[in-house]
Amino acid sequence: MFSDDMRLIAREMVAPGKGILAADESTGTMEKRLHAVGLDSTEEVRRQYRELIVSTPGLGESISGVILFDETVRQESSAGVPLRKVAEENGILPGIKVDKGAKPLAGSDGEKITEGLDGLRDRLTEYAGMGMKFTKWRAVLDIGNGHPSDYAIHVNAHALARYAALSQEAGLVPMVEPEVLMDGDHSLEDAETATTRTLREVFEQLAKQGVELESMVLKPNMVVAGKECPRQPETEQVAEATVRTLRRTVPSAVPGIAFLSGGQGDEEATVNLNAINQLGPLPWQVTFSFGRGLLAPTLQEWVGRAENVDSAQRVLAHRARLNGAARQGRYDAELEHV
Ligand code: 5MM
């Protein structure tokens, strides 16, 4: 794919009124999610769950793209259609997670580095041949006990940029995800400092490694206080800290920013996204790329029962519509019950 095509895909991914669905849980994470609702994590259960997601009627009205896991892009619907094609027929661009997960970082005191660069060029070539349009790589940084260290920020940003450059070389739009976790009791100010340091280094590395900013999407965390912080900020404070951080660090050449939900409640993530957009106009499209924020209520509704597929799909389409409204600053709590 040429640069013009990647720019177009990047803009489609963050099109007004739409956001991205993260359904790329690796097998271990999926096992946790399924166990939590009393289900065994077999390949067939995971296939049924992903079929339910990508075939949700009307989902393409508020979801531009779906991030899939390697297993899913090789699976078919019960009617024998590859799930990645089912997504496309539903008006949703198929994307793929290409990192191999966060592993212990040598020489650090418990920080992590995301692996998966070895052999990545060949994997990307295969995914491009399958018709994937974009990719995603997630780096994870925590706050507390002197973390995140400059060392962890640097090596993760360096790997994110190496991944993004390889992805663009293969014609696939990279979604660059540096996640500063909300685990812990840190303050909003701590989160703002850690996120600012991280994003500065990420864009420095992207520039050094020749990544075209117009052909990527940034997937950051919102700036929120730690889950255990006794002083939880108001929505407006979260929105202001997030927008200030992004304005200070993200070049306006980047077409879009799509937030992860990071363990916020589903309504909380929607309310925050709405408040962030109400601070606009902003230099980029600002939308969502939620996993749990969209799928936790869907899975709760489905719980593996065929008779719940329709209602679970309605729950997903509804949550996606609400976030579609929030990414335009048009969400209202009343809409939850419509
Ligand atoms: C869907 O979850 C993805 C994580 O998968 P693994 O940890 O199993 O690799 C994750 O990358 C996700 O895309 C983002 O963190 C956004 O998901 P949330 O749930 O934070 O919105």
pLDDT digits (tens, 9 = 90+) for 4-58: 999 999 999 999 999 999 999 999 999 999 999 999 999 999 999 999 999 999 9
Question: How many helices (DSSP H) and strands (DSSP E) are in the chain?
Answer: 12, 10
CA nearest ligand 1 atom 4, residue: 25
Q: How many CB atoms lie within 10 A of CB 260?
A: 23
**How many residues make up the chain in this entry?**
338
**Which atom of ligand 1 is least distant from the CA of 269?**
21
Phi, psi of 177 (to 5 degrees): -115, 95
Tracing tokens 């040598």 back to the chain, one arrives at 106
Average pLDDT, the chain: 98
C-alpha 113/C-alpha 105 separation (Å) is 5
Best probe residue, ligand 1, of 21, 25, 290 (max atoms within 8 Å of C-beta): 25
Dist. CA 137–CA 26, nearest whole Å: 12
pTM (global) more than 0.95: yes
Mutational test site, ligand 1, from 32, 49, 135, 138, max ligand atoms within 8 Å of CB: 138
Q: Does domain 4-337 have CATH number 3.20.20.70?
A: yes
DSSP state of 288: E
Encode pLDDT of 244-300 as tens digits.
Answer: 999 999 999 999 999 999 999 999 999 999 999 999 999 999 999 999 999 999 999
C-alpha span between 316 and 319 (Å, rounded):
5
**Residue 143 phi, psi dihedral angles, 5° rounding:** -115, 135
Q: Over the stretch 204-224, which tens digit does the pLDDT of each residue have? A: 999 999 999 999 999 999 999
